[in-house]
Amino acid sequence: MFAATLPILVNIFVAGMFVASFLTIAQLNPGFANIRWIALSYAFGLLTPLAELLLPLSPWPAPFMIVSYGGMLIGLVLMAPALSLLYSRQPYWGWAFGIIASGIALRVLIWGGQRNEFWYELLYQLPYAAAAFLCAATILRHGRKTGLDTAAASLFAVIGVHFLLKPPAAVYFGSGASALDYSKTTYALISQASSGVLLIGAGLLVLVNALQMVVLRDRNDAMSDPLTGLLNRRGLHAAFQKLTAQRSGLSATIAILDIDHFKAINDAFGHAIGDEVLRSVAECLEGNRPANATIARIGGEEFVLLTPWQEESLARLACESLRMAVRQLSLRKVDSVAVSIGFTPVAPGEDLSQALARADRALYAAKAGGRDRCVFEPLDGSLQSGRATLRLVQ
């Protein structure tokens, strides 16, 4: 067994595991199909240790030399656009193709050159270094600016520097008189081990990053209404818990906004137009809510406004502003849309269901009072109605 055989075998095994892992993630999460590009990057990278393992066994080394060089080059370069696609950004395809073309040109230039010479080794490693630096730059420009991104970008930068340190190491230790002799050298052992450790580290960071993004997407999907993109009841509950935990006394105002005569809209124009109305109202509410407020859809034509408590007049101002904003909507086929609103403060220690029940009583009173109005129910249960207390300036 040659000195470098064991690290070569380890690199083959680890690269294969990365390919399988990323393909599995992509298969189980259709929204992350772009992760297959990362698997493809490792599939190309896998060709390098595989070719170097088989090269000493073949009487025709040239094909294995080409595969060894090209596999690593394409795999490492491909990682950069794969990362951009993971972050849903446009890849730097021009830079990627430029590095691959330059790498091929340099390899042709030094083909048959004198090994163990500094310039030969430098021109051999330079495209690899450029590819690693492109990966680092891609993460810095396109990443989520998290600690994982910083660590991954830093490690790819270290990998780039490590490729630039290989030429003097090759000259010092000797990389073998020919490709056939390479795996017998101390330099091959150092090169394979160092590259393997660094690339495994980078792969693990990319893998953890991808898994984190999958988990966050799944959590966001679980808390979002698919039709409108607003928070759903689960998301509202999380926002309610966070807001009430931060404040003592009267912590919040909660309001239920219900689209008036929505069933008649569905019956007259169909569910497609009804869904369009829901999306338009949701967009209107989200665009006109107070900056510190949360809008959610809790089912059917019911929406919820959650905002920190200030006083009744300010809560009414927020609700009336939303009511009139909906009144001004211009919709296809539907002449006009209105909402009835019931709002109430949240008592200390009160849970979401209790607060919603009181707001729902206020909403029922708004409906009974003629719709298209706001009704406030204080904690003592006395109802206070209001309508059109604000006027739009035309």
Catalytically active residues are 301
115 CA to centre of own chain? 45
Contact status, residue 128 vs residue 163, Cβ threshold 8 Å:
yes
Structure tokens at 146: 């998290």
Q: Six-digit token pair at 297?
A: 């859809």
Q: 172 burial class (0-12, 13-18, 19+ CB within 10 angstroms)?
A: exposed
Residue 103 half-sphere exposure, CB side, CA atoms within 13 Å? 24
SS3 35: helix
Say if residues 316 and 389 touch (Cβ distance below 8 Å). yes
Contact at 8 Å (CB) between 79 and 36? no
Amino acid type, 57: L
Q: How far apart are CA 208 and CA 195, in angstroms?
A: 20
- For the CA atoms of 218, 222, 224, 227, the dihedral, rounded to the nearest 10 degrees, stands at 90
Q: At what angle do helices 118-142 and 93-110 cross, to 10 degrees?
A: 170
In whole angstroms, give the CA distance from residue 159 to residue 169.
15
